[in-house]
Amino acid sequence: MRTTVGIIGAGPAGLLLARLLHRAGIESVVLESRDRAYVERRQRAGILEQGTVDVLREAGAAARMDREGLPHHGIELRFDRRRHRVDFPALTGGRSVMAYAQTEVCKDLIALQLAEGGPLLFEAEALEVTGADTTSPRVRFRREGRESTLVCDYVVGCDGFWGVSRAAVPEGLSRTFERTYPFAWLGVLADVAPSHDELVYARHERGFALLSMRSPTVTRAYLQVPDGTDPRDWAAPRIWDELDRRLETDDPAWTLRHGPLTATSVTPMRSYVHEPMRHGRLFLAGDAAHIVPPTGAKGLNLAVGDVTTFARALVHHRDTGDPSRLDAYSATCLRRVWQAERFSYAMTTLLHRAPDATPFDDRIQLARLDRITTARSAETDLAEAYTGFPLTPTERKSR
Ligand code: RFL
Ligand code: PHB
């Protein structure tokens, strides 16, 4: 089997890349180890940055998002029983985000790819990438019990944190940067209308809580829990009681709506970056190259940024013969990746309570929150980062 771009993984990164390449008239084959139902059901991120929304529209993949997605013009920070709204458009010159679940983005992209695009092979597991430093890198894969080879001009590893593509970068050239956090997130889905029309990020002595949503009738919520928590230890009454406590406020108008839970899971918190994101004709994109803790809602958006950068660089190369943008892929992406790492780390340490937190740490968190809610510069910094950094960073103009 032969193609121009071999794509490993049909998460948001691989699926969007296949769509962008198809629109540009470039052939690809997507190999996905899981089946379609699994990929379409995996509960993950929920917030799309303005730039992600724009890319999905450009890719002709935004029809349902524009009908069903919920535009959000701010978030609420809750701490010390207080409520503070961060107004994104007012602080960023008009930027916003969209609440539209990763599962729905994937469903839309899968339907389009199967209807219009090149091969998207489910239950096709990549085993190894070879020849990354040659002009025809290969992916060895297994499907229906048989091994085959996909010969490519380029391979893009979109196979997530546990995939195989990163291992094709020689050890001597790889550098990894990592931080694990001493807590995790318990995530729930509930069949009940969201209690607020924007996301609520709560800092509380008992730990962090996040109130999000999937639709006008489905609530998504998260609780900080100790690392290694078994979700079976958290029955519904305990979850709602804990959410009630962590979201407490002096505002008499606030109530948290309870409803039946339909899913519960635990996600570990990790920051991780692999450098470089390119070796020869192998390019790493999304979680295959970097992980952020979900507090900043950046994981999916970074994946979209990476594959958009790759697709544009490849089209530029095809149209002009100039390889410089492909050559710059790793450096271009990493600059944005590290900004997202910085922001996700800052949001995580701002809002979570570490198991060994001291009264000093508590006061510093509250002082940081006080600063964000009183100094426009600090609030603007949060709003700019949350709504998203540009694909190609712009230098600040001299005054
Ligand atoms: P994905 O979505 O992990 O997709 C990778 C795909 O590659 C497939 N795969 C292989 N296919 C073929 N051969 C192999 N050898 C393969 N190995 C793996 C996998 O089956 C999968 O389909 O990566 P991608 O596309 O880079 O997208 C990144 C986002 O999914 C991710 O950044 C976010 O979802 C992160 N994340 C969250 N972000 C948020 O902003 N909010 C959240 O609430 C949130 N929850 C999460 C998350 C990530 C999680 N992971 C990775 C464990 C919850 C979880 C559990
Ligand atoms: C979600 O809705 O799943 C979500 C939203 C914002 C985050 C993380 C997760 O920061």
Query: Does 151 score more than 60 pLDDT?
Result: yes
Q: Is 107 a catalytic residue?
A: no
Q: How confident is the model at residue 36 (pLDDT cuts 50, 70, 90)?
A: very high
Listing from the earlier edge strand, what are the strands of the sheet with 82-87? 82-87, 74-79, 199-203, 209-215, 218-226, 175-190, 261-275, 290-291
Q: How confident is the model at residue 9 (pLDDT cuts 50, 70, 90)?
A: very high
Quick one: pLDDT at residue 397? 54
Q: Which residue(s) pair with 6 in the sheet?
A: 29, 155
Q: What mean pLDDT comes out for the span 48-62?
A: 96
Q: Which listed ligand is nearest to 47 at the C-alpha? A: 2
The Cα–Cα gap between 136 and 130 comes to 9
Q: Dihedral through CA 274, CA 333, CA 288, CA 213, nearest 10?
A: 120
Please give the mean pLDDT across all residues of the chain. Answer: 96
Q: What atom in ligand 2 is closest to the CA of residue 45?
A: 3
Query: Does 204 score more than 70 pLDDT?
Result: yes
Contact in structure between 10 and 32 (CB atoms under 8 Å): yes
Q: Is 276 a catalytic residue?
A: no
What Å distances lie between residue 176 and 13, 194, 326, CA to CA? 21, 39, 22
Which of these is catalytic: 154, 201, 222, 329? 201
Share of the chain above pLDDT 90, in %: 96
pLDDT digit string, tens, across residues 74-96: 999 999 999 999 999 999 999 99
- Token pair 């570990």: residue: 268
Quick one: pLDDT at residue 394? 64
Q: How confident is the model at residue 45 (pLDDT cuts 50, 70, 90)?
A: confident
Query: What region does 388 belong to: left with phi over 0, alpha with psi -120 to 50, or beta?
Result: left
The Cα–Cα gap between 161 and 270 comes to 11
User: Any idea where the domains of the chain sit in the sequence?
Assistant: 2-71+97-179+269-354
Which of these is catalytic: 72, 196, 204, 290? 72
Q: Which listed ligand is nearest to 215 at the C-alpha? A: 2
Q: How confident is the model at residue 106 (pLDDT cuts 50, 70, 90)?
A: very high
Quick one: pLDDT at residue 393? 62
pLDDT digit string, tens, across residues 57-78: 999 999 999 999 999 999 999 9
In the reported structure, the alpha carbon of residue 194 is separated from the centroid of ligand 1 by a whole-number distance in angstroms of 25
180-219 per-residue burial string, b: 16 or more CB within 10 A, e: under 16: ebebbbbbbbbebebbbebbbbbbbeebbbbbbbbbeebb
Query: Does 395 score more than 80 pLDDT?
Result: no
Query: Does 399 score more than 50 pLDDT?
Result: no
Quick one: pLDDT at residue 132? 98
Please indicate whether residue 30, judged by its CB atom, sits closer than 6 Å to ligand 1: no
Query: Does 191 score more than 50 pLDDT?
Result: yes
Q: How confident is the model at residue 153 (pLDDT cuts 50, 70, 90)?
A: very high
The Cα–Cα gap between 38 and 18 comes to 19
Please indicate whether residue 333, judged by its CB atom, sits closer than 6 Å to ligand 1: no
Quick one: pLDDT at residue 77? 98
Query: Does 390 score more than 90 pLDDT?
Result: no
Architecture of the domain spanning 2-71+97-179+269-354: 3-Layer(bba) Sandwich (3.50)
Q: Is 71 a catalytic residue?
A: no
What Å distances lie between residue 278 and 34, 107, 126, 233, 345, CA to CA? 25, 28, 18, 42, 24
Q: What mean pLDDT comes out for the span 173-200?
A: 97
Q: Is 201 a catalytic residue?
A: yes
Q: Which listed ligand is nearest to 199 at the C-alpha? A: 2
